[in-house]
Structure 1
Amino acid sequence: MNLLNRITIDAGICHGKPCVRGMRWPVEVVLDMLGTGMSVEEILDDHPELERQDILACLQYAKLSLSGHNIVDVA
């Protein structure tokens, strides 16, 4: 399964920022939680609407964003 399919962009949700599965969970918020030291397990415990694959998708999206690849081409 392509994890990037879990990342959606909709102008009507979070001002068009990349989000997890059309929910109001921007990729940047998930990355921020990881960056503050939260473990994947802590995030999942605190936010049961998220799934482990959602967090992995956010990491993959960030990696591709920084690599200079066109995300549309690789998704």
Structure 2
Amino acid sequence: MPLVVAAFLTSIFLWIAENIGTATGVWLYPGQTTWHMVPLTKLGSWYLLLYVSFVLVTIVCRPQPPDTPENPRAQA
């Protein structure tokens, strides 16, 4: 699955979870007295956070090819 799609789907699930958390009263924003849906702009914030995090981790810890083959008996 491409990174763009994975980050977008994950941000959708996080946005839904945030709505459930605010609806049940588990998480309340400052000044919030009644429930209202979390704005769709938060969806973009979650997406940007996930995408930038994945890119930064990839820059710091570059992917390495495996040292051993997947099937060690294939070389015998």
What's the TM-score, normalizing by structure 2? 0.28
Pair member with larger Rg: 2
What TM-score, normalized by structure 1, do the two folds share?
A: 0.28
Higher fraction of strand: 1
Higher relative contact order, structure no. (Cα contacts within 8 Å, ≥ 6 residues apart): 2
